[in-house]
Structure 1
């Protein structure tokens, strides 16, 4: 699979599995799982088109591990980042003392005023390392990395979850937990 087709297909999968399954009339269960054969068939009907082997390659090689198969590879879902209501069946985890949030410089004033909101997503995403947060921030403009006092948040009863691709998730980050 050439890199251009792989990137286009990966973006399509993110869009359909995280935000708009109705685009191709795809059924997701309550946990966000889609039947692989249905996804391939309906994607082909929508002229996107990819084979199981190409889908498997994308799941295995995606640097952000955005997608996961079930054990027998008959179902697929996005690991996190959904704007549709699904149950990822995540178990609360104890976060490290600090995590990082990458954003664009243009968003910093609003964040420092209102906190980090999940907006249309199910969770706020936090990274365990500054490098990953930097990559996230670069996607949106001049990057800024905010350090989040997640240990304090957990002490105050705020829940954290760790997705299958090692992204930390929470509902909201109040300004009092943000270090500049």
Structure 2
């Protein structure tokens, strides 16, 4: 999606601003001349100033509200609030400094039917992102799958994967991450 499509002219729109922040903090900080460090952090003041230039009503309080109240909890501030970053989903290379975590027995992935054959043959791949995203519960996976149509839920034998040497991480907002999920660890979740 292009930057122009993400900006809403006239008044602030929560969803469009959240998408803009995702675009800037996950994929393209340079679009608004933002500098991202190796851990994915951007100076909060610089972000507010850059977005405010495009959306004059935007300010630090609105940014804080998005970070605090966003249902998906996509963003985090540094401890002192001087920096902000996306919790996961980056297509630009960043080191989120996550430690390996022991996954539960099963994790879930929401998708749609048109991708199912490919996934069952090739597994889940990270594509242009740094990790495959997995959910702890069926409801979250269903919400993820719903974004593209009627959801199909896959179960991931996460503990078995870990025993076979695969590494898992958990982002600050509870999304489970791994490099890929080979097809032998996947099953179709039946309703």
Q: Secondary structure at the match of 1:169?
A: strand
Question: In structure 2, what is the equivalent of residue 55 of structure 1?
Answer: 63
Q: Are the aligned partners of 1:106 and 1:141 in contact in 2 as well (CA < 8 Å)?
A: no
Distance of aligned partners of 1:113 and 1:156 in 2 relative to their CA distance in 1, 3 Å threshold: same
Question: In structure 1, what is the equivalent of residue 85 of structure 2?
Answer: 77
Question: In structure 1, what is the equivalent of residue 180 of structure 2?
Answer: 172
Q: Are the aligned partners of 1:43 and 1:49 in contact in 2 as well (CA < 8 Å)?
A: no
Query: 4+ runs of 1 displaced by more than 6 Å?
Result: none
Shift of 1:6: 1.4
1:18 correspondence with 2:53: no
Question: In structure 2, what is the equivalent of residue 159 of structure 1?
Answer: 167
1:101-134 per-residue CA deviation (whole Å, 9 max, x = no partner) reads 0011111011001100000100000000000000
The range that moved more, 128-137 or 40-49, is 40-49
Distance of aligned partners of 1:26 and 1:48 in 2 relative to their CA distance in 1, 3 Å threshold: farther
- Structure 2 unpaired stretches of 5+: 1-10
1:114 correspondence with 2:122: yes
Shift of 1:45: 2.3
Question: In structure 2, what is the equivalent of residue 68 of structure 1?
Answer: 76
Alignment partners' CA distance in 1, 2:117 and 2:97: 34
Q: Secondary structure at the match of 1:145?
A: strand
Question: In structure 2, what is the equivalent of residue 128 of structure 1?
Answer: 136
- Structure 1 unpaired stretches of 5+: none
Q: Secondary structure at the match of 1:151?
A: helix
Q: Secondary structure at the match of 1:109?
A: helix
